[in-house]
Structure 1
């Protein structure tokens, strides 16, 4: 595979999906390679993994080396800077991925909260293998449908979480029934959905599907669907002035009273309290565990 970068552009809005923006393989030995997270003029998340040499990251006032087989997670805009040092003895070679979408940033923040911005992955770890696979697909122009890319990004995030948690089946490929269900829920969360409907989309009985879904994602299908809906509701509460009942309906809840109970349970505040709060609850979408 050639050392190059790939950019993805979407003809229609993709904010409701997890959208890969760029993916690539680079090498630098230039002192001018320096990126400040407060001066890039856009909003996205990034993962960068060192293949050889080393880079440096300053985040939250702390300095981190990024040597071989280490990577870092950052969000933009944020208080960080990563760069190549001219004192290094060899070029910094790395692969990277950037992404956007209303559900993505919460996962990045969750990873950083658990591990710090810098992580260590073996070169044969599933997240790294999946990055190479996604780059190969981009080079051969296969699997470029926006929904397929969204599912691939979600699979990659799950692989990272599994690897960082030391799960025994980290690195296991997510089977097609699970990816089909994830895609279905990401795009149809606003509808009234039953477990039977989600399982049917996956082509399985609900009992076998539930076991398979939990095995590969760590949560039940309904829990995952509820997370998507509450994340969407939190966005609407903060970014629009729709009545709470309208927010509930747009997020897939057909009963505003039940919506209020679920929202309070997962977010620790009522929908109106969340809307009225300032500063104590961040504006980005919160990963609900």
Structure 2
């Protein structure tokens, strides 16, 4: 049962994200949704306010209680239903936001108070105000950033050791670090290490290390250190490999980055 629904229709979407609809609903023993039978194309978030519901997705069953939420792409292979009084709100996004999710369907327990406040503030704003397309898109983009931040925080908390690994990489980036050595230090297999870190930070440990080394190279290049000096200082085996990775990450060579310094020099007054 849907207690309140607000839908938005625009002629020109401009390939921007926007909110297609919001709703507040409740469900009892006969409440049942099959995501595979819905015809519209969207990504939606459903947040439980009270009661209890059940989500079946990816061969797993999840109980949804107060403070829990899930994201799903429609159409999709999932169902959700209620055996008790299930009260919830939902936000439907245009499908363009799918590109910002590593996995389309995700389930989360006990959202933070800050996220709940942001979600409700957006819900109330959209419910009470008439929005043109760009205003709607701004609300959608801001809310989706909050969702991404909440997802990131939840994943990091669920993988507390990943923070320790991340700190190890940042403190030892200039050293010769490999997966075999890290797996030995943290007493886990390389597969476990990669999976846990990637779930928390969306990068493998070695990909994160490369990015962090490039970040640390900026100041050295700015100080006019040579490419070879910089490469060795941040943990790369040689200047050629460093230059190759730098170009992939930054879209320019280390030398081009050094030359760009003159664009930021200001005359003394």
TM-score normalised by length of structure 1: 0.49
**SS in structure 1 opposite 2:142?**
helix
Contact 1:125 1:163 in 2 (8 A): no
How far has the Cα of 1:132 moved from its partner? Answer: 1.7
- 2:39 is the alignment partner of 1:41: yes
1:164 aligns with one of 134, 151, 161: 151
Name the counterpart of 2:7. Answer: 7
1:111-153, CA deviations, whole angstroms, 9 ceiling, x for partnerless residues?
A: x47xx62112446223x223222232233224x1211211211
Contact 1:26 1:95 in 2 (8 A): yes
How many residue pairs get matched?
A: 155
In structure 2, relative to structure 1, the CA distance for the partners of 1:122 and 1:60 (3 Å cut) is closer
| 2: CA distance, partners of 1:123 / 1:55 | 20
- 2:24 is the alignment partner of 1:25: yes
Whose radius of gyration is greater, 1 or 2? 2
Contact 1:14 1:101 in 2 (8 A): no
| 1: CA distance, partners of 2:63 / 2:55 | 6
Name the counterpart of 2:118. Answer: 130
Contact 1:58 1:64 in 2 (8 A): yes
How far has the Cα of 1:17 moved from its partner? Answer: 1.0
Q: Greater helix share, 1 or 2? A: 2
Moved over 4 A (4+): none
- 2:146 is the alignment partner of 1:147: no
State how 1:10-89 maps to structure 2 within 5 Å: 10=10, 12-14=11-13, 16-31=15-30, 33-85=31-83, 88=84
How far has the Cα of 1:101 moved from its partner? Answer: 4.0
How far has the Cα of 1:159 moved from its partner? Answer: 1.1
In structure 2, relative to structure 1, the CA distance for the partners of 1:38 and 1:101 (3 Å cut) is closer
In structure 2, relative to structure 1, the CA distance for the partners of 1:124 and 1:156 (3 Å cut) is same
Q: Which runs of 5+ in 1 are unaligned?
A: 168-264, 267-289
- 2:108 is the alignment partner of 1:119: yes
1:66-103, CA deviations, whole angstroms, 9 ceiling, x for partnerless residues?
A: 11110111001111111112xx3xx100011011143x
Contact 1:38 1:76 in 2 (8 A): yes
| 1: CA distance, partners of 2:148 / 2:128 | 28
**SS in structure 1 opposite 2:113?**
coil
| 2: CA distance, partners of 1:92 / 1:151 | 30
In structure 2, relative to structure 1, the CA distance for the partners of 1:36 and 1:120 (3 Å cut) is same
**SS in structure 2 opposite 1:4?**
strand
